[in-house]
Amino acid sequence: MAPKAKLKRTQHWMQTVILHPGTNEQAVASRKAQALVSKRLFPRLVLRSKTLDSYQRIGIYRDMYLARLREALASDYPALLHYLRDEAFTELVAAYVHAHPSRSYTLNRLGDHLPEYIRSTRRLARWEFLYDLARLELAMSQLFDASESPVLKPRDIADVPPEAWETVRLKPIEAFRLLAFRYPVNAYLKSVRDRTPHPSTRRENNWVVVFRKHYTLRRLDLTRPAYDLLSALVSGVALGKAIALAGRRRAIGEVQLFSWFRDWVANGLFQAIEYDQPIHQSGRARRTRRK
C-alpha cells in the first residue's frame, strides 16, 4: 500500500531530497527527508521503472538541479569558471547553492551572493583575487538587466550657463557601476575574453566603471582621481565640490578634467543635469532638467 503522502508532504519531501548534498541514498536517508517520508516507504512512493530503481529516478532530478544551476552561474561568471576550471567551479557551485538556494522565479539573480560567499568562506585559494573577480562579473550581470536611460547630449552640456557649473549635479544612467579593486581583475577578464595571455594577478589597486551603451556592456579603467570624482558625482555632490574632493590628493588640471568629461559624456555615462536653483535662460526658468 502506498504511503498516505498528501501533496504538501510529497512536495516538501521531494524538494528536500533534491537539495540534499551527497548521494541519492544519503539524501533519501537524511533525517530531514525521513521526517517526511521514511526510507522504508520510499520505494512505494517513487516507483521503479523497467530500467531504473527508485533511487536512480529521483537521482535524475537531483543531477539536473545541480547541472542547471551550474550552467546559470557559469553564464554569469565565465572568468571565475576559467580561473577555477570545471571541477573546482562545480564544487563551489554545489557549496554555494546549498548555502544560498534559489528563492526567485528567475535564475538571473542566483549568483547575487556569490562574491560575498567567496569572501566570507575563504575556502578558495587566492580568494581575495576571486572575490574581486566575482564582484566585477556580478556587476556586469546586474547591469545587463538594468533599465535603459536617456543619455545626456553635447547640446545639454552647451546649454548650461557658465555660472551654474559649480552647483550642477550629474545624474548617472541606470546601468552604471563604479568599482574599486585590490587585484587587476578587469585586465584578467579581458584576457579571458580575448583569449590572450593572462596578466599578473598580484595585488594592485585599480578602479573601473562598468556601464551599458546601446545595450552593450562596457568597462573603462579609471585613475584614482577620476574614480574619486565620479564617486562624488554619482553620490549627488555638486560638480564644484566633487572636483575639489577629487583633487585633495593631487590637483586636477583643467585639461585633464575636460578630457575626462568628454570621454564620459561620449560614453553616455550621464542621463541628466540637475540644478539646485532655478536658472534663467532664453527667457525661460527651468528648475530641473531631467532627460
Partner 1 sequence: MANRWKFPDLGFGVGLRTVHYASILADNPPVDWFEVLSENYMDTGGRPLYVLDQVAERYPVVLHGVSMSVGSTDPLNIDFLTKLKALAERTRALWVSDHLCWTGVSGLNVHDLLPMPYTDESLRYTISRVKRISEFLERPLILENPSTYLEFGTSTWTEVDFLSALAQEADCGILLDVNNVYVSSFNHGLDPNHFIDRIPVDRVVQYHLAGHTHKGTHILDTHSDHVIDAVWELYRRSCQRTGGVATLLEWDEKIPSFEVVHAEALKARQYRGLPAMEPKRAYGT
Binding site for partner 1 (CB under 8 A): 2-8, 10-12, 14-15, 18-19, 44-47, 49-52, 54, 56-58, 60-61, 64-65, 68-69, 72, 101-109, 143-148, 174-175, 212, 215-216
Closer CB to partner 1, residue 10 or residue 256?
Answer: 10
Residue 270's alpha-carbon distances to 28, 192, 236, 241, in angstroms, are 55, 29, 12, 18
- Closest contact distance (angstroms) between CB of 290 and partner 1 is 17
Choice between 86 and 145, CB closer to partner 1: 145
DSSP SS3 for 286 = strand
Kindly report the CA angle at 218 between 132 and 116, in degrees rounded to 5?
20
CB of 279 to partner 1, least distance (A): 31
Residue from 51, 49, 26 nearest 39 by CA: 26
Please identify, using beta-carbon distances, which residue of 45 and 239 lies nearer to partner 1: 45
Query: Between 127-144 and 54-76, two packed helices, what is the crossing angle to 10 degrees?
Result: 80
Query: Would you say 140 or 233 has its CB closer to partner 1?
Result: 140
Instruction: State in angstroms the smallest separation of the CB of 145 from partner 1.
Output: 4
> 79: closest CA among 207, 190, 181, 156?
190
Instruction: Give me the least distance between CB of 32 and partner 1, in Å please.
Output: 12
Distance CA 218, CA 207 (A): 14
Q: Which is nearer to partner 1, 97 or 238 (CB)?
A: 97
Q: How far is the CB of 86 from partner 1 (least distance, A)?
A: 18
Cell of 77: 561568471
